[in-house]
Structure 1
């Protein structure tokens, strides 16, 4: 018996541990850590550091070492006049070189002035900032999707709670009618009608259970959670908050979308400068130092006594490149870069207009949702009062079963309408938080 109790406690402990209570804050933070979009955005930021290193390398000394080993199986011969060798009137074929030849050298190349390289370094640093802003925008988009999905699942869960209460209430009424029928005070048709209503409610409940499972799966996918993980939404998520009334201090210039476009504009300007730099002179220095070995024997580790001779060589030089005429290709590229800048300016104007509209729409929608929510809340109270009165009247024969069922339906509809109004309010609240550029606040506090 003691062994069985231990197993039971361990089994219950496993399920208690398996189910995770998921607030909106928890869901958002989980998504930012695990969802592919957020992870890839962070990797882009990390990768930008390596891009900077790559561009910076072009401005640093380029040093390389190389070596060769050649065996001249057949030495090339040159024709020399016999006069040079005391044999006038003859042409003598003389081989030049040695069968074995080897080199070992180190070379260096350093950019002294190259405007394209220096501009590219500035662009790489701006690219890092661009990816950071883009990662922030990606996080905000993830937060918005998670919040909307979270509240959608919570809406269905609230509807499920409502229908459970309706089923309990209808079952209670059914028991009253059954008692009246057993005592000859109610008709069989009344009992059948209430049974049909109860069965329909149970069918609707199963549909909501299925819908909730699908929505929870969608939410787990959006946050990157294992599908086998059970989740539980806390009851206080749908409480009305006093988030956010908008004042004149709200500035759409602080929106991440605008910051991203501004940084993109900066990159396009640098791109234009880099193209212009292709027409500038460039100056670089190169140097090398090495050894050359020649001989009739394998040269490595050999000495003059072995017929192998080594000599050193070195050279230092400057390379100056002055573009003179390139057919106008640089000029055409500069014009194209300028068009890109102007197109982005048009996008910025349109984005500012869209963000301003979304801010005003969010305020309007939130106010309208709050009005609707208050109306629906009052309707719930009225519908409940009506249902209570009709139940009492039905018991004393002062109301028909149709009146009772209609009151039940109206009360359930009022509760569902209130739930829908809550969802509309919360979605409007998310849109207002987004319009104010404060979606990151959902990672810090429950809204």
Structure 2
């Protein structure tokens, strides 16, 4: 028993190790293509299209000929029919029948058009989900690269602080500096180490979010094969500002248009509720008696029939239903107009956001360079006794603040670019 348990545990460990060994090295385009193939939300969006198509066929098939076959057995347990003193046998019998029927109404035809609209809406939603998935992967890819750069900058600052701390301790030993100066730098070191650990935890969370978007398990190791300088294309981002906003290309607007078309079609369906409906059938019936006794069969082998149903009076039900749908249609037209206006305003706002984010990015990039030069200058002065430890601490804090602002401004450019690309629905 113990031997079997060891084998099971070993198998589990080997399975976990095989998961951990799986590794993906991806460019941004690779990650996006992988997500398009494996993202589960996107798969569900594709299934929604198939569901809508199945519902459409269900409505269409209801208007096509329907054929049903049936068979039954009856036994009256020897009972005989008394007809004016004449006994007529009712022997056991089996009946086989085939019925073909067809029925149609204008409301059914309009219902098929409603199903067509549902298929279109499902397809638009799938395309929108695809766009959102690609953009989410892009955001996470950039965020991971930015976080890596942030950790690298923090580790470089930590290295500088360690060197300063070592220099300060030596100065304390020879009596040219006070212990409080070394203590202040040690506090800076502890704070920096805490920030680095926090950033690394945030980095792992970003990787997990990317794994979720790509549809891979948690054991899959992901490495990004591109870097920020190779991906950052500010000229391409700023070129979006010169593109015209075409409403009909926007997925939100397309869905709203389909909602309006859907309600318009429902209004027509309610109007045709006053129209008659027609159905027809053909039935073939065959009866076999399981006895030689004489009897009679009054069931014709072939029969046809037709039914015309004409709505006459519904106590105002159909009229109220039509009025309700018309009111919904009018409200949806107002919503469409509001959507059109809000999307145009949103376009202007997103263009402004992108321009502002780019200006902030350029300013923060220069701020990092200046802050680093100031820190290096203060450090040299401190080493020669021309600056205090407080000056070094302030300069170090300013560098970290500038670096954080730079990283944030970079992400804001990427985020503003993606938002505008989504609105414009540009080819990526």
Same structural fold, with TM-score higher than 0.5 when normalized by the shorter chain = yes
Q: Pick from 124, 138, 148: which aligns with 2:129?
A: 138
Separation in structure 2 between the aligned mates of residue 371 and residue 426 of structure 1, nearest angstrom = 13
In structure 2, the partner of 1:28 is 32
Q: Which residue of 2 aligns with 1:433?
A: 421
Rg: which structure is higher?
1
Alignment correspondent of 2:252: 257
Q: Which residues of structure 2 form unaligned runs of 5+?
A: 1-16
Could you tell me how far apart the structure 2 residues matched to 1:281 and 1:312 are?
A: 30
**Residues 266-285 of structure 1: per-residue CA shift (max 9 Å, x gap):** 22222222232232122232
- The 5 Å alignment of 1:248-327 reads 249-294=244-289, 297=291, 313-327=301-315
Per the TM alignment, residue 64 of structure 1 is displaced from its structure 2 partner at its CA by 1.1
Distance 1:78 1:279, change over 3 A: farther
- Taking the aligned partners of 1:370 and 1:339, their CA distance within structure 2 comes to 46
CA drift of 1:183 comes to 4.7
Q: Is 1:105 the counterpart of 2:80 in the alignment?
A: no
Name whichever of 155-164 and 181-190 sits farther off: 181-190
Q: Which residue of 1 aligns with 2:13?
A: none
Q: Using the TM superposition, give the Cα deviation of residue 152 of structure 1 relative to its aligned residue in structure 2, in angstroms.
A: 4.1
What is the alpha-carbon distance in structure 1 between the residues aligned to residue 287 and residue 51 of structure 2?
43
**Match for residue 361 of structure 1?**
349
Within a 5 Å distance, the mapping from 1:377-388 to structure 2 comes to 377-388=365-376
SS at match of 1:231: strand
Q: What is the match of residue 405 of structure 2?
A: 417
Q: Please give the per-residue CA displacement for 1:99-145, whole angstroms capped at 9, x wherever unaligned.
A: 2122111111123x521222222222222112111212222333444
2:364 is matched with 376
Shift of 1:95: 4.1
CA, structure 1 residues 119+58, in 2 after alignment: closer, same or farther (shift >3 Å)?
A: same
Query: How many angstroms does 1:58 deviate by?
Result: 1.5
Task: Check conservation: 1:162, 1:416, Cα contact below 8 A.
Answer: no
Q: How many residues align?
A: 407
The answer to whether the Cα contact below 8 Å between 1:107 and 1:288 also exists between their aligned partners in 2 is yes
Listed as ranges, the matches of 1:238-257 within 5 Å are 239-242=232-235, 243=237, 244-247=239-242, 249-257=244-252
For 2:281 and 2:19, the matched residues in 1 are separated by: 71
In structure 1, stretches of 5+ residues that fail to align are 1-12, 81-91, 298-303, 442-447
- 1:72 equivalent in structure 2: 76
User: Residue 78 of structure 2 contacts residue 90 of structure 2 at CA under 8 Å; is this kept in 1?
Assistant: no
| Normalised TM-score (structure 1) | 0.82
Taking the aligned partners of 1:378 and 1:137, their CA distance within structure 2 comes to 38
**1:41 offset after TM fit, Å?**
0.9
CA–CA distance in 1 between the matches of 2:367 and 2:391? 18
